[in-house]
Structure 1
Amino acid sequence: MSALELTAEWIPVDDAALGIVPPPSPPLAFFDPPRNAYWFQNSRGGWITLPEAALKRQLRPYLSNKAAETARLSPLDEHINKLQTECDVAYAGPLAGAPPGLREYESRRLLITEGPQIIEPVPGEWPVLSLVLENLLVDERGDQRPYFYGWLKIARESLIAQVHRPGQALVLAGQHDSGKSLVQNLITPLLGGRAAKPYGWMTGATDFNAELFGAEHLVIEDEFASTDIRARRNFGAQIKSVTVNSLQKCHQKNRTALSLEPFWRVTITVNDEPENLMVLPPFDDSVADKIILLRANKRPMPMPTATYEERKAFMATLTAELPAFCHFLSAYAIPAEHVSHRFGITHYHHPDLLNALDELAPETRLLQLLETAITESWTGSQAQLEALLTGPDAETAYEARRLFSFPNACGVYLARLAKKRPDAVRYRRTGTSRTWTIWPDREPAQGPY
């Protein structure tokens, strides 16, 4: 046999068979240009940010920091360059409703560092929570629980499926210590376990809202809320945006804003005194269907809550019942008369609260001024009416000037009155302007006002 024949066939031998262990691959990392930092997984699988020097220390067991004789860069520096150009992310952090991991969105790479904690439904009973909700939401006006159940059901289904669906802002208004804040706090674990406070951003007090994008549940309470009409109007505009629009602008201080799609549900708790209800936005046609307004009734809790130990036991009982409640929600059928094709559940406004809001509404205050200033039928322009009510000799001047706190306030409130009280206010168009008639069914005035 020739030497050629002896070497014609090779027996393959892998590195392991020869005892050669390949070097381990460096751990995963991503470059965050806005932060000029790197995202790196810690020993528990969570993501942390590291400056470049710290990242290099983590990578030295895997890559040499010395360049070969013919190379300009060390393998470690080459890897850092690769991270900056190929593993960069436009956004890194938690994103409401999204599971952890890497995802592409509109040609941008997002690193979601942590996701919501979803409570798994478990068949069972939930007697204590059931009694809490019955006491809170059932009164002489009717049973509000179907709206609460439907709202939660649609929210959980949307969250679990990771599909955007509009969802109204849920308002619980009632006496102090009625349990409304308790229920609001229980909504947080039902919707992923993360909550944030959006009120400053939603009223225009700040443009920065990045911290909200890590929470599914946006919680508003009335302890620092404003009754100023401009804040309330901003609040109403943001409720319309947050409840309906999937795309939201994420703006962190000293960073360029970018658009993301968070899953958000808004809840609001307020006391039902007039000054507290005034923190809610004006219920005009554009915002009314985007709010569910429930009355929270004050009744005894089903377990004692006087001491810390009793309250702790009460909360532990409620928390333990949440999986069974989730099972109930999964199987719950929204009554046909309450179904909304847009929101899943239709809006509802408790009539007593709605009446109270109507009495406090700025258009109602304008009506009271009209009753004081005008006793007979009057016709004229908005500017003429505003001059009549705010003139130096007018009995209504002080209140009217306070009421007309923004440009065209008089026209806005007149338009609302024309819808609510056509017996008091009507208008007709003349070209590009409107002519208003106050008390159209009364005898006209005999002279100019």
Structure 2
Amino acid sequence: MSMAPLAEAWPADIEDAATTPTELTADTVEPSAKPSVTPSLFENASTYYDTGSKEFLRKNRRGVWLKLPSTDYKRVLRACGFSTKPQPGELLSAADHEILETQDKHDVAYAGPLAGYAEGFYEFGNHRVLVTNSPRLIEPIVGRWPILEQLLSNLFLVGAGVEQLLVFYGWIKVGFESLRAGERRPGQALVMAGPHNCGKSLLQNLLTEIFGGRFAKPYRYMTGQSAFNGDLFAAEHLTIEDEQPSIDLRARRNFGCQIKNFTVNEGQSCHAKYRDAVSLTPFWRVSISLNDEPENLLVLPPLDDSVQDKMIILQVGKHPMPMPTATLEQRKLFWGTLLGELPAFLYFLTQWRIPAGLSCPRFGVKHYHHPTLLEAMGSLAPEVRLLELIDAELFGFSEQTPWEGTALELQRLLTGSDCAMNHEARKLFYYNSACGTYMARLRRDHGERVSSRNTKTGTIWKIQPPDSGVTG
């Protein structure tokens, strides 16, 4: 969908209306006459009414859109010469008529910044939208970018050669060119995992500058901790940094579903607090940075078939920065140098072609998972993975009844053909007593969930549902 605005021209201010008195006064209005409209204030639709917040929007002298309640807006009208008192024989004043006129003809369902859109008036199906400011796009310029090039080489030329650096270039190229052209194109979530203090957050800050200069934090919404996502629609770059890892498979799977939603679905439901939801089509790019220890990788969703092609997982190395960063002044100079080189870097990307072996019709660049990180994700404690499988299979549909049975019965249940995750379960139970061994570890580490009792026929295990509040 093109993001070209339906209305390109916007009045800079209402200064002319304020300095040139209208002829609409208490002395000149005839009884029962419809009040006149100040052309400089309304003929170009410089004032809008937000049906959700019940506020009026107009630009101030600096070109900033202000949200005004009815009382403040009526004060603006009075300053422009509109009478706020009804004339003889009239029920409404001239200002009241203009308020009703604005509500009737210039109503919008959403007003504010919108990711990927320049300032302007748009229509999304039945929804009318006022975008109040534009992303700050960098203009590519021919030049050199030696410091940024060294930084990126240090970060990404780790273990697997040049491939992941080329994937990173391709991911930025596709996103930047789509944003610059005002077009929607899906893009994978970019994951960067590496040692503490190696430059991951610095790189995310640079990505924010590349993608319009605005960022938002989506993790709480993506993991189901919040039902509201209105703030996300004001930013092109959605960033997740070093979040608290969770072994709750439901939260991780919900995160995976939201990654699929954010990366490939064009239409999104914008639901701000105290507002009705409205369907919009934002431009989003998601980046995730985390430390590369196995427990930190638990932030990521399980890499099943539905999500693995929607994530690029890169390993980041730790090297000295290409400029001194010991003092505040040195860090400011380093950051300023990187910002100064971004136009040249983006020019390079606009001229560079993604290698044929890495191109992808859907996303522009293929997904990539660094082999070391894949191995680390696979080396997570097997008993933790077993508990995830149990929660998905036994308690995945709001089931709150505890499960009881032997380890062999549990193993048969999880590896049976009716279990959607039987392939992963079979990999866990690679020796005869594996299930019983893992259950014993879970009883030790998660006694609030797992307990056992001995019988003549063997050990009977009891597993409580997640968040049941019941011990044993």
Give the TM-score normalised by structure 1: 0.78
1:40 counterpart residue number: 58
**Per-residue CA distance 1:29-83 (angstroms, 9 max, x = gap):** 1111211111111111111111111111111123222333343322211111111
Determine the C-alpha separation between the residues in 1 that align with 2:382 and 2:39.
67
Q: 1:108 aligns with which of 121, 127, 135?
A: 127
Shift in CA distance, 196/366, structure 1 to aligned 2, threshold 3 Å: same
1:339 counterpart residue number: 359
1:412 counterpart residue number: 420
Unpaired runs of at least 5, structure 2: 1-19, 24-37, 395-402, 433-457, 460-472
Q: 1:261 aligns with which of 281, 288, 297?
A: 281
Shift in CA distance, 243/335, structure 1 to aligned 2, threshold 3 Å: same
Shift in CA distance, 348/218, structure 1 to aligned 2, threshold 3 Å: same
Determine the C-alpha separation between the residues in 1 that align with 2:205 and 2:375.
28
Q: Which runs of 4+ in 1 moved over 6 A?
A: 361-364, 420-425
Q: Is the 8 A contact 1:366 1:413 kept in 2?
A: no
**Per-residue CA distance 1:390-433 (angstroms, 9 max, x = gap):** 86665999xx9xxx9xxx99923313456x799999xxxxxxxx
Q: Does 1:194 align with 2:214?
A: yes
Residue 227 of structure 1: how far off its partner (Å): 3.6
1:93 counterpart residue number: 112
Determine the C-alpha separation between the residues in 2 that align with 1:149 and 1:288.
20
Residue 278 of structure 1: how far off its partner (Å): 1.1
Letter in 1 for 2:291: N
2:29 counterpart residue number: none
Shift in CA distance, 340/51, structure 1 to aligned 2, threshold 3 Å: same
SS of the counterpart of 1:284? coil
Q: Does 1:161 align with 2:175?
A: no
Determine the C-alpha separation between the residues in 2 that align with 1:237 and 1:36.
34
Q: Is the 8 A contact 1:26 1:62 kept in 2?
A: no
Determine the C-alpha separation between the residues in 2 that align with 1:70 and 1:231.
64
Residue 140 of structure 1: how far off its partner (Å): 3.0
**Per-residue CA distance 1:181-202 (angstroms, 9 max, x = gap):** 1111100010000000000000
* Structure-to-structure mapping, 1:1-12, within 5 angstroms: none
Determine the C-alpha separation between the residues in 1 that align with 2:138 and 2:365.
22
SS of the counterpart of 1:360? coil
Determine the C-alpha separation between the residues in 2 that align with 1:214 and 1:199.
15
Give the TM-score normalised by structure 2: 0.75
Q: Is the 8 A contact 2:294 2:379 kept in 1?
A: no
Determine the C-alpha separation between the residues in 2 that align with 1:136 and 1:304.
16
SS of the counterpart of 1:285? coil
1:321 counterpart residue number: 341
Q: Is the 8 A contact 2:382 2:428 kept in 1?
A: no
Deviates more, 1:24-33 or 1:114-123: 24-33
2:159 counterpart residue number: 140
Residue 259 of structure 1: how far off its partner (Å): 1.1
**Per-residue CA distance 1:206-246 (angstroms, 9 max, x = gap):** 11000000000000012434342221111101001110000
SS of the counterpart of 1:103? strand
Paired residues, number: 381
Deviates more, 1:137-146 or 1:201-210: 137-146
2:81 counterpart residue number: 62
**Per-residue CA distance 1:130-170 (angstroms, 9 max, x = gap):** 00000000023211211011000000111111211110000
Letter in 1 for 2:242: D
Unpaired runs of at least 5, structure 1: 1-19, 370-381, 384-389, 426-447
Shift in CA distance, 261/303, structure 1 to aligned 2, threshold 3 Å: same
1:13 counterpart residue number: none
**Per-residue CA distance 1:228-279 (angstroms, 9 max, x = gap):** 2221111101001110000111111122111110100000001000110111
Letter in 1 for 2:420: V
Letter in 2 for 1:414: N
Larger Rg: 1
**Per-residue CA distance 1:361-391 (angstroms, 9 max, x = gap):** 8699449x9xxxxxxxxxxxx99xxxxxx86
Letter in 1 for 2:156: L
* Structure-to-structure mapping, 1:365-384, within 5 angstroms: 365-366=385-386
Shift in CA distance, 25/361, structure 1 to aligned 2, threshold 3 Å: farther
SS of the counterpart of 2:342? helix
Letter in 2 for 1:337: G
Determine the C-alpha separation between the residues in 2 that align with 1:281 and 1:227.
10
2:201 counterpart residue number: 181
Determine the C-alpha separation between the residues in 2 that align with 1:412 and 1:358.
19
Q: Is the 8 A contact 2:21 2:81 kept in 1?
A: no
Determine the C-alpha separation between the residues in 1 that align with 2:276 and 2:381.
39
* Identity across matched positions, percent: 50
Determine the C-alpha separation between the residues in 2 that align with 1:424 and 1:346.
36
Determine the C-alpha separation between the residues in 2 that align with 1:214 and 1:56.
29
Determine the C-alpha separation between the residues in 2 that align with 1:227 and 1:294.
22
Determine the C-alpha separation between the residues in 1 that align with 2:265 and 2:290.
25
Residue 21 of structure 1: how far off its partner (Å): 8.7
2:69 counterpart residue number: 51
Letter in 1 for 2:68: L
